[in-house]
Amino acid sequence: MRLFLAYLSTLFLLAGCGGSGNETPAPPAPIAAAWFYLSDDHDYFNIPAEWQKIAFDKVDVLYVGPAGIQEHKQFGLFESAQTGPLRHRFEWLVDRARHDNPDIKIVISQWWGNGQGIWGKPLSALHGEAELNTYVQSVADFIGYYQSYAGGRYALDGFDIDYEDNNVTADFPALAHKLKDTLQALSNEYGKPFRLTLSPAEGEYLNPESLSPFDYINMQSYAGGMDIPPEAFFQEGVPAGKILYGICPETNCDTHGEEEVLATYHHYGLAGVHLWRLNSDNHAYEGQVQQRIYSALHPPR
């Protein structure tokens, strides 16, 4: 009997130490994201003095723009004799952000608007599958270049589409799937995940099929998108854990307040909050809002 009891005790001890293998995994960490715009002025050799005052230690994911379509339908950062290379500001920013926060994830965004002579062109410049393929390959080349250039000092963690106006095209669903396949190939090549994100202010062409490639959706729930609820994405098959709610403390930007944004985040169990942006003329206040959002999403344990 003693041997039998000892045997049972050993079994229980092993079960307690080893676990059943069915433990509930820890939920993903909340995401406090923020945006940084590189082209308020167009002297790209110059780093604006106020940028030196911006901190990145309370940013989990940094979205950077504007990037766009350059010559030969290829994605990249603009350069001209008049402006200088936009990559100068981009590389400075990545270096500065990683100095403040080595764990920060940095995602580059395809911009919308009329950027000829400033940052490039939007997705409406692409016509037909051949040009889509050229563009997608150039995205892969751009990310691959920075993965190895300068020892990976300026490496990226993903690609975003600022989905509004002339970035809204009938080719978007096909482009989304091509980009996802390309980023997956890059992940396999470099052994790290590359996220594909969408930042929509419009809903045309958005459906379960076109949204399925995206890892995260950054709701532009400010300015013209204040009345769009998370349910608009739920009904298209996007789970709450892939959605970030937006806040915009930029000057003259219509936005929900911090309490309402955080209440929405908690109510729906969203992935996080993204802030437009860190470097407007209101940057001191924007930084304070980012710190409070970060602290609310990452409370002390």
Contact 295/287 with Cβ under 8 angstroms?
no
- Domain assignment of residue 299, yes or no: no
Please write the tens of the pLDDT for every residue from 242-265.
Answer: 999 999 999 999 999 999 999 999
CATH number at residue 52: 3.20.20.80
User: Is residue 59 over pLDDT 90?
Assistant: yes
In a domain? residue 168: yes
Residue 292 lies in a domain: no
71-114 residue pLDDT tens: 999 999 999 999 999 999 999 999 999 999 999 999 999 999 99
Task: Return the pLDDT at 21.
Answer: 54
Distance CA 38, CA 91 (A): 11
In a domain, 182, yes or no: yes
Per the domain annotation, does 103 fall within a domain?
Answer: yes
Identify the band that residue 14 occupies on the pLDDT scale cut at 50, 70 and 90. very low
Model pTM score = 0.92
Average the pLDDT over 206-227 and give the result. 97
* Residue 256 belongs to some domain of the structure: no
Q: How do residues 147-180 score in pLDDT, each as one tens digit?
A: 999 999 999 999 999 999 999 999 999 999 999 9
Residue 142 is encoded by which pair of tokens? 């751009």
- What per-residue confidence (pLDDT) applies to 27? 84
Does pLDDT of 230 surpass 50? yes
Count of domains for the chain:
1
Chain-centroid distance of CA 225 in Å reads 18
Does residue 10 surpass a pLDDT of 90? no
What is the DSSP track for 54-119?
---TT-SEEEEEEEEE-GGG-EE--EETTTEEHHHHHHHHHHHHHHH-TT-EEEEEE--S-BTTTT
For residue 278, give the amino acid letter: L
Q: Cβ contacts of residue 213 below 8 Å, gap of 6+?
A: 176, 177, 179, 180, 196
284 assigned to some structural domain: no
Domain that holds residue 127: 27-221
> Does residue 288 lie in a domain region?
no
200-209 residue pLDDT tens: 999 999 999 9
Are 286 and 222 in contact by the 8 Å Cβ rule? The answer is no
Report d(CA 91, CA 261) in Å as an integer.
Answer: 32
Q: Is the pLDDT of residue 301 over 90?
A: no
Angle between helices 283-297 and 258-268 (to 10 degrees): 30
